[in-house]
Structure 1
Amino acid sequence: MRDLVRSEARKAVAGRTWLIMLGVGVLLGLMTTAGYTTTVEQEVAAGLAPAAATASMVRFWFGMMLASMLFGAVFVTREYGTGAIARSVLVSGGRGRLFTAKVLVGSIAGVGYGVLAAGLAVGSAWLFLPLAGQQLTWSTEATLTLVGVTAVVALAGPWGVVFGWLLRNQVLAVATLLVLTLLVDEALLRLVPAVGRFTMQIAMGAVYRDAKPEMLSPTMGLLVILGWIALVGAVALRRLRRSDVLS
């Protein structure tokens, strides 16, 4: 299995996909944090505590989870697009082994994205808050937010992988993940909060401490995330084992 994981890791960094996704995530984070500098002064003047402003600056880097998630999906589906998945199954020694190896590599990549997001979150708070005339005020809330951001970005990696295994088509997988993340989950929270708070994106928001009264606790949110990954992964693995690899 170790050699198989190494082989899949080499595939993961082959080409420009991981760089493109990384660039998108960094650009998104920089745009949101830089944009926050235009409003943070007014918010502090209106009563927002400096420590809360620092935590908010850190929180904006949750957007890196889009890069982690989409990388995971593309990592699987691009082999379906080229037909190389059939050869990968043969060389790996079994469908289950290949499935596991890709999930592991996606998880490692997710951790990498998460660590980078954490570093950039701290760096952006240190850079942009003083530029906005505000003091960097670190707190327990900022630390918990940073841990939450790192966690959701890391878990977005295997989430993208299992989703890629489930849908197999790259365009369909990417489009579905984006629609669910950016539209459906938020809409469900607004329309049916009792249901919406159990969706993946809203559960992630609970972990990185997005302040919405309808949300779950961070611990429950983490359990929901793991539950979704396990459920979709189980369905995807069942499909992989019972249907034609290329279908």
Structure 2
Amino acid sequence: MPEVLRNQFSAELLKARTGAALPVLLLVALAFCALGQLGVVYAESDPSAAGAALTERIVRLGGSAALFATLFGALHVTGEFSSGSIGRTVLYAPGRSAVVAAKLLTATLAGLVFGLAAVVCSLAVGYAALAAEDAALALGGSTWATAAAVLAVCALAAPWGAAIGFVVRNRLGAVLGLVVWGTLGQILVLGQLPEVGRFLPEGAQFAVLGDSTGFPHAVAAPYGLLLLVAWAAAVALAGVRLFGRRDI
């Protein structure tokens, strides 16, 4: 990586580490994950007999952190537009494309942090909740495959949010849009138009996570991963083009 791009990336990492968005959203994401995992364990009539299937469901719920990773990516970009500091960022950067690339890469690393934290939280909460029910986690190859899926979904969700930030630019609009779509919107589309929803990012996430009960119409996991990459690339390209053309 050229030195100027490395410096730009280091600057974006510093913004991500020192801002409040990352720790706050991470804590909220883990709280939501933990509540869901506790609910799954205590709703199971016989946790000790559920075995690997229950452990996979517990870990799979870590995928809910993807929404918060998306919000971080959007805030990492739109925050600078709202404060007006994006102009200074562009002034000291080697080019606008370098700004986009550095922010997308920073968001990807943050997404990995969300995914890793969600997996660790899943295992810790699952272990404690199952121990209280005289049961134990059933760790195996499928469990680690589900954990890898959670990492992949979160890692792609954050740059997706950052790319949307470059397209929308307004902080409130981006956050509200992502939250409404991530909750009500996807439920309506996936429920009423499953043949369309299976090709949308949310349907692709279900595919990667292997959640056939949550969305039985999902495509196969490899195709879901390709869909997530394609969606992220398409929105990133739109963000690059718009960021290069519009005034800041």
TM tier, shorter chain? Answer: over 0.9
Aligned-pair distance for 1:217? Answer: 0.8
- What does residue range 1-247 of structure 1 map to in structure 2 within 5 Å? 1-41=5-45, 49-211=50-212, 212-245=215-248
Render the CA deviation track for 1:90-123: whole Å, top value 9, x for unaligned: 1112111111111111111111211222222222
Distance 2:242 2:102 in 1: 17
Aligned-pair distance for 1:216? Answer: 0.8
- Amino acid aligned to 1:73: A
Contact kept in structure 1, 2:34 and 2:122, CA below 8 Å = no
* Helix, strand or coil at the partner of 1:215: coil
Distance 1:145 1:40 in 2: 20
Aligned-pair distance for 1:59? Answer: 1.0
- What are the ranges of 5 or more consecutive residues in structure 2 without an aligned counterpart? none
Distance 2:233 2:37 in 1: 33
- Amino acid aligned to 2:244: R
Render the CA deviation track for 1:164-222: whole Å, top value 9, x for unaligned: 11100111101111122212222112211111111111211111111132011111111
Contact kept in structure 2, 1:188 and 1:196, CA below 8 Å = yes
Distance 1:222 1:239 in 2: 26
Distance 2:224 2:193 in 1: 17
Distance 2:148 2:45 in 1: 25
Aligned-pair distance for 1:63? Answer: 1.3
* Helix, strand or coil at the partner of 2:207: helix
Number of residue equivalences: 242
Contact kept in structure 1, 2:38 and 2:126, CA below 8 Å = no
- Amino acid aligned to 1:118: V
- Amino acid aligned to 2:143: A
- Amino acid aligned to 2:155: A
Identity %: 31
Distance 1:57 1:81 in 2: 38
TM-score scaled by length of structure 1: 0.93
Aligned-pair distance for 1:132? Answer: 2.7
TM-score scaled by length of structure 2: 0.92
Distance 2:105 2:19 in 1: 19
* Helix, strand or coil at the partner of 2:42: coil
Render the CA deviation track for 1:23-73: whole Å, top value 9, x for unaligned: 11111111111122220125x59xx73211111111111111122111111
- What are the ranges of 5 or more consecutive residues in structure 1 without an aligned counterpart? none
CA-based RMSD? 1.6
Contact kept in structure 2, 1:95 and 1:240, CA below 8 Å = yes
Contact kept in structure 2, 1:186 and 1:202, CA below 8 Å = no
* Helix, strand or coil at the partner of 1:38: helix
